[in-house]
Amino acid sequence: MLTFRRSVVVAATVLLLFFVFFSDPKSISAKDLLHDVELEQKLQKNRQETESAIRELQASTSRADDAQERKIELLEAQRKNLEKQLQQLRRLPPDAGVRTQLAFQFPYDTLNKFPAYIWQTWKQDFDDPNFDERFKYHVRSWDEKNNGFVHEVMSDQTARTLIRYLYMNIPQVIEAYEAMPENILRADFFRYLILLARGGTYSDVDTEALQPIPNWIPDRIDPMKLGLIIGIEADPDRPDWDEWYARRIQFCQWTIQSKPGHPVLREIVAKITETTLQKKKENRLQLPSTKDRGSEVMDWTGPGVWTDSVFGYFNDPVKSGLYYPVTWSNFTGMDQPKAVSDVLVLPITSFSPGIETMGAGGDNDPLAFVKHHFEGSWKPEDERMNSN
């Protein structure tokens, strides 16, 4: 009879015989039963290949970085060499004239904006207790009408220091400035010098701002096509005009707006420098004490030479791009702003309102921008005009 105990013994015997006769002679470990050996080998091979590729990529990247670094170093060396050559080209020849030096130091670009500067000079700084009370109201009007502008009111001494700094590389200009025998000449010269170097608006301390400076340019004219804004001082339609004024049409220089480096300013600075140094050489610097004193000032640094410089620019086609003659007849009787080349010429009303002559409008005229109170502090007392 087959009992449970006998059944267990039979089953154990059968299993033993199976392992003895049918199993692989190699032993089977627990690891073999749990893992696919072939798959593990493939993964191990892929890992080795990946690590090798990474090492090669790192080495290649390092070699590329080194090559790139060497290329950058080579380009930098070439750049420095080119810059050195350009510096050599930028150097002016030792015999360069004043005009060449001025053009080099203060290049002109019409596409620049008009700088938001207002320049004025007097014997003392504005905050000096000795500053003339007559002018404080006029000076403040420029701030009130031109919010956001940098407004500098400089003493004669401050102006002199600034000119020495701005023109340190053009000693002839400084020599001429220092050689001038009277403040009126230096004051005239200063306005051209500061506008040439820095641009902006210059106006005498006896002028009053009636409208903001940006209003000077009509909407129909693009400011980026302008480089200089001037006004007519005198348009005397009378046969004896030369007994009263330096030129038939005379441009005022008590108020001027410009961009830095404008050729008209360059030319007048060069003219005044050459004239002054020639006078110094000939020992003719002193102004006469006769009635010719005023005329000499106007032709040395004043509206006479200023007007000549403007017309000289208009009639130089290389500088102005104009190929027709420009004379006083182009401006006489004008009552609206006129752009000629890159110069905006304003009618007499704009900077001389209320003079009640030569067609000038009143202070409330839409084109009245600056009121000149004609203090004429450089003139003898009995020759001064006062519109107050």
Residues 106 and 64 in one domain: no
Q: Which residues of the chain have pLDDT under 50?
A: 2, 4, 8-10, 12, 14-34, 377-388
Closest by CA position to 149, among listed 121, 113, 122: 113
Question: What is the residue range of 125's domain?
Answer: 98-383
Whether 61 and 156 share a structural domain: no
Place of tokens 């009130």: 144
Same domain, 137 and 191: yes
Q: Are 151 and 182 in contact (CB under 8 A)?
A: no
Q: Kindly state whether residues 232 and 371 are assigned to the same domain.
A: yes
| pLDDT of the residue at 159 | 95
212 and 312, same domain (yes or no): yes
The verdict on 339 and 218 lying in the same domain is yes
Using the structure block, give the residue that is written with the tokens 């961009």. 259
Q: Is residue 23 part of a domain?
A: no
Taking the CA atoms of residue 314, residue 115, residue 300 and residue 138 in that order, the dihedral angle to the nearest 10 degrees is 120
pLDDT of res. 354: 92
- Number of compact structural domains in the chain: 2
Question: Using one digit for the tens of pLDDT, what is the confidence trace for 98-116?
Answer: 999 999 999 999 899 999 9
Does any domain span residue 22? no
Q: How many alpha carbons fall within 13 Å on the CB side of residue 181? A: 15
Cβ(257)–Cβ(251) under 8 Å? no
For residue 380, the model assigns a pLDDT of 42
Residue environment code for 292-315, b if the CB has 16+ CB neighbours within 10 A, otherwise e: ebbeebbebbbbbbbbbbbbbbbe
Compute the CA torsion angle 264, 265, 266, 271 (nearest 10 deg): 90
Asked whether residue 43 falls in the same domain as residue 138, the answer is no
Q: What is the pLDDT of residues 180-214, one digit of tens each?
A: 999 999 999 999 999 999 999 999 999 999 999 99
Residue pair 125/91 in contact by the 8 Å Cβ criterion: no
**Does 388 reside within a domain?**
no
In a shared domain, residues 205 and 77: no
Residues 210 and 257 in one domain: yes
pLDDT at res. 83:
65
